[in-house]
Structure 1
Amino acid sequence: MYVLLVVAFIDMFSQLPVIAPFATSLGAAPIIVGSVIAVYSFSNMLGNVLSGIWVDKFGSKRILASSLILAGGLVFFYTYVTNPSQLLAIRFFHGFAAGFIVPAAFAAIGRNDDTESNGKKMSHSGAAIGIAAIIGPAMGAIISSRFGIEWLFYFISVALILVGFISLVLITSKPPGVKESNIQEVSGFAFIKKPDIQFAYIAIFLLLLMQGLLTYAMPLKVEELNLAQEMTGIFLSVFGIVAILFFILPSNRMFDRINNRKLMFSGLFIVSLSVFGLGLSTSSSELFISMIFYGIGFALLFPSTSATIMKGTNSQNRGKAFGIYYACFSLGVISGSFIAGLLGTSAMLIFTVGAAIVFISGILMFLNWKQILSNSS
């Protein structure tokens, strides 16, 4: 399952450094290039939500296998694209098909997992995503520059289709509707009313909003400090490495021993301070330290939010819950990039506004949680 997650996210991450130049090479205007990038996240968000509904109805195994194979087939058609309109269309359908994969994967992990180790399992899933985030962009750049971009599409297509067929054989999951004695059964979308799940959705949205801001503003910050542009990739890799270490080392035990709400609030606080530190940084060493703390915040947020979804749902609605969860992923990235674009080219302004959004939102969530506790007592 973790290999499946790596392959699924490499599909997305490997295209990040090449899709804009590819669109430009086809004669796309700047606004079309932006649309080509954004339409994947938009259709991916639609696929996330629909995936959750179908997973709860038909089971995760069939959705996983069919979406992997379909996404792989769509990636192959990138090699036949000859104009921006075709690229825009294939990006939409590719993002939609890929949107079914991750909610189905996490629903399967949840159905096969024991609730006492949800946090640890989610940290391992986070490590798989982190590995893809580190090797995906580098792999995409290397393959496309050395062999041509079509070979990148061939490689991703084969990998997705192969893993899709393997998943039919190796992945097992409980059928939809299996009762879980330790979780109160909730039908439909009623789980959204639970405060903890609401906190998890808001927290993961804020984290990915910050990720969108970071991706946009880090090259600007590197340029402001007169550093080599290659340093952008290094700084962006630092937080991934730190997060992966938290996910795979014994530190991952904290995700089952410490209350998830406390981890979420701590993660949001650390992320906001680290991003504010990025804005204030005047040297590469200060950027490096800020990214280390950003990685710690990321490591606290991802497993705690996803484990909250697992613990607050059951076999009848977990697919829907994770569908919305990953829709918040996509919406966060889109919103972050949009806000950064509105703020212009000042990295200091972008990082300061982003830090303020996360910090204030975290405070409001904390106060709301305290109010809920006081009302319940």
Structure 2
Amino acid sequence: MRAHPIHLLRITGILDGISLIVLLGIAMPLKYMAEIEEAVTIAGSIHGGIFCLYAASILYAAIRVKWNLLWPAAAVIAAFIPFGNFVLDRQLKKAQAKYGVRPINITVLVYSIVFFSFFDLFAQLPVMSTFATSVGASAFIVGFVIGLYSLANTLGNILSGIMTDKIGPFKLLMAGLLLSSGALLLYHFVDQPVLLIIVRIVHGFVAGLIVPAAFTFSANTTVHNEQGKKVAFTGTFVGLAAIIGPAFSGIMASRTSVPFVFTCVAALGLLLSVLSAIFLRKYKISKKEKDDAPAPSAGSLFNAGVIKAYGGAFFLMFSQGVIAYLLPLHVQSLGYDSRLSGTLMSTFGIIAVLLFVLPTNRIFDRVAPSRTMAVGMGLMGASQLLISQSGTTLTLYLVLGLYGVGFALLFPSINTMLIQATPAELRGKAYGYFYAFFSLGVVAGSSVLGWLPFDTIEGFMFTGIILLLFAVVVAFDKQRKQVLSH
């Protein structure tokens, strides 16, 4: 008889809890009180390895157990709280008898691949600049290698989109997962800036193969009347990656090393590679799913709906780039601790995830995506303007919460709009360009504001005005089409 997935989760959870207590309660006192540096290195490495197994058990349980996403989320949170795993184990013991096991859920597996891709991205944010400095990179090279990843990622996105339409999304998913896992391990060999530049190019390019193929696979296996809701659930996994990734890498890097953090991420990628090879290889789109696939709004790839989706993707990530660049500077100028920037970014992520996973996600199948897109972009633009005028922690949290609402409305809308505007045979290419615009938006958001002679307040106001203008264009275009149809 096979072990219940929750039983495996409980075993790895207890081991993870014990290793965390050993690290915090024994190894760290030995380091700081007895000056035994090796204690933290050894205990941290063991804890990191166990955490990888624990993360894999969480993923496996999420795929196999008939429960909601709150259980996996609680399991992740418990890993960062001393004795948290032991408290959770009591609840898991009861849940083991309550929840049954289901066959592998293809949808959740694809969601998990999306999570891995964005987890890989967000895990780099807190540690890459310090890692680049540690191998002798100058300030210019530090900024260069961070942006270089996104540029290489753009090329990978485009190639993935083109090849997905030719050979199917499965082969691109497998190539992306295996090559990305291998690229993450290359950081162990980086000891000078030139090698770091080479690894960043390789890593960014192969990582770019995953997302267009994953979203194409998801879109091609979704019936028409559930597209918005399904995309919202995909956004949940992106949001969780944005919340968990920076926290995980920041904590683990301080206890072990940056290459070890990337090794843990690589282990997750390899696990997903194995699961994909077993369960996605033979999966084919059913006749019903093909019949339910929506007809494109125009014959070519670059029709009005696709162009609006691309514009939404670019300005969404342009806004994210501005937030990442200016928010820490704004917080610092107000005299607050730099840690406030991280909690503010987590706030917008948490709000977005809640709107994705709660029944509010039904709005995306009941309201035209162009409407929710205009509202979402408008809220994000308004929040950029309000950030420039916010001087207290309370107002900053409220404004970033508003930004999270806008993000939650915009992300599913542009994905749904893209699906509805493209036929299945062009969807890979469409998603390839779509996520290329995502990558370019991040680079443009931080670099354009760096080039322009703006201070932080002027930068936020400039971005807010651009987003509001784009929201007006989308809303006006929708209104114009309604008038013409009558």
1:209 aligns with 2:342: no
Give the AA of the match of 1:153.
Answer: F
Indicate if the aligned counterparts of 1:220 and 1:346 stay in contact, CA closer than 8 A.
Answer: no
TM alignment of 1:240-251, pairs within 5 A: 240-251=349-360
Match of 2:455 in 1: 346
1:238 aligns with 2:373: no
With 174-183 and 125-134 compared, the bigger mean Cα shift is at: 174-183
Q: 1:164 pairs with 252, 273, 280, which one?
A: 273
Taking every aligned residue pair, what percent have the same amino acid on both sides? 35
CA gap of 1:40–1:176, structure 2 versus 1, over 3 A, is farther
Indicate if the aligned counterparts of 2:224 and 2:294 stay in contact, CA closer than 8 A.
Answer: no
Give the distance between the partners of 1:114 and 1:350, measured in 2 at CA: 42
Q: 2:235 pairs with 113, 116, 126, which one?
A: 126
Give the AA of the match of 2:229.
Answer: K
Match of 2:330 in 1: 221
1:191 aligned counterpart, secondary structure: coil
Match of 1:191 in 2: 301
Q: Gaps spanning 5+ residues in structure 1: where?
A: none
Listed one character per residue, the Cα deviations across residues 161-190 of structure 1 (whole Å, up to 9, x for unaligned) are 221121111225437999646534799x92
CA gap of 1:180–1:35, structure 2 versus 1, over 3 A, is farther
1:152 aligns with 2:284: no
Q: RMSD in angstroms over aligned alpha carbons? A: 2.0
Shift of 1:344: 5.7
Match of 2:112 in 1: 3
Shift of 1:122: 0.3
Indicate if the aligned counterparts of 2:344 and 2:397 stay in contact, CA closer than 8 A.
Answer: yes
1:76 aligned counterpart, secondary structure: helix
1:81 aligns with 2:152: no
Give the distance between the partners of 1:328 and 1:191, measured in 2 at CA: 15
Shift of 1:340: 2.2
1:107 aligns with 2:220: no
Shift of 1:142: 1.0
Give the distance between the partners of 1:256 and 1:319, measured in 2 at CA: 22
Shift of 1:248: 0.4
Give the distance between the partners of 2:174 and 2:118, measured in 1 at CA: 15
Q: 1:64 pairs with 173, 176, 184, which one?
A: 173
Give the AA of the match of 1:174.
Answer: K
Give the distance between the partners of 1:126 and 1:355, measured in 2 at CA: 23
Indicate if the aligned counterparts of 1:186 and 1:317 stay in contact, CA closer than 8 A.
Answer: no
The structure having more radius of gyration, on CA atoms, is: 2
Indicate if the aligned counterparts of 2:297 and 2:305 stay in contact, CA closer than 8 A.
Answer: no
Match of 2:390 in 1: 281
Indicate if the aligned counterparts of 1:62 and 1:168 stay in contact, CA closer than 8 A.
Answer: no
CA gap of 1:88–1:182, structure 2 versus 1, over 3 A, is closer
Give the distance between the partners of 1:50 and 1:174, measured in 2 at CA: 23
Shift of 1:314: 2.4
Give the AA of the match of 2:294.
Answer: I
Shift of 1:36: 0.3
Give the distance between the partners of 1:317 and 1:30, measured in 2 at CA: 42
Give the AA of the match of 1:264.
Answer: M
Give the AA of the match of 1:75.
Answer: L
Indicate if the aligned counterparts of 1:210 and 1:336 stay in contact, CA closer than 8 A.
Answer: yes
Q: Gaps spanning 5+ residues in structure 2: where?
A: 1-109
Shift of 1:200: 1.2
Indicate if the aligned counterparts of 2:161 and 2:429 stay in contact, CA closer than 8 A.
Answer: yes
Shift of 1:313: 1.9
Give the distance between the partners of 2:453 and 2:248, measured in 1 at CA: 30
Shift of 1:349: 1.2
CA gap of 1:180–1:190, structure 2 versus 1, over 3 A, is farther
Give the distance between the partners of 1:186 and 1:47, measured in 2 at CA: 27
CA gap of 1:23–1:204, structure 2 versus 1, over 3 A, is same
Match of 1:135 in 2: 244
Give the distance between the partners of 1:320 and 1:176, measured in 2 at CA: 22
Shift of 1:363: 1.8
Indicate if the aligned counterparts of 1:72 and 1:158 stay in contact, CA closer than 8 A.
Answer: yes
Match of 1:174 in 2: 284
Give the distance between the partners of 1:3 and 1:121, measured in 2 at CA: 13
Shift of 1:45: 0.7
TM alignment of 1:36-51, pairs within 5 A: 36-51=145-160
1:317 aligned counterpart, secondary structure: helix
Shift of 1:346: 2.5
Tell me: higher relative CO, structure 1 or 2? Use CA pairs within 8 A at least 6 residues apart. 1
TM-score of the two chains, using structure 1 as the length reference: 0.95
CA gap of 1:294–1:121, structure 2 versus 1, over 3 A, is same
Indicate if the aligned counterparts of 2:344 and 2:400 stay in contact, CA closer than 8 A.
Answer: yes
Match of 1:328 in 2: 437
2:301 aligned counterpart, secondary structure: helix
CA gap of 1:14–1:191, structure 2 versus 1, over 3 A, is same
Give the distance between the partners of 2:159 and 2:297, measured in 1 at CA: 19
TM alignment of 1:17-56, pairs within 5 A: 17-56=126-165
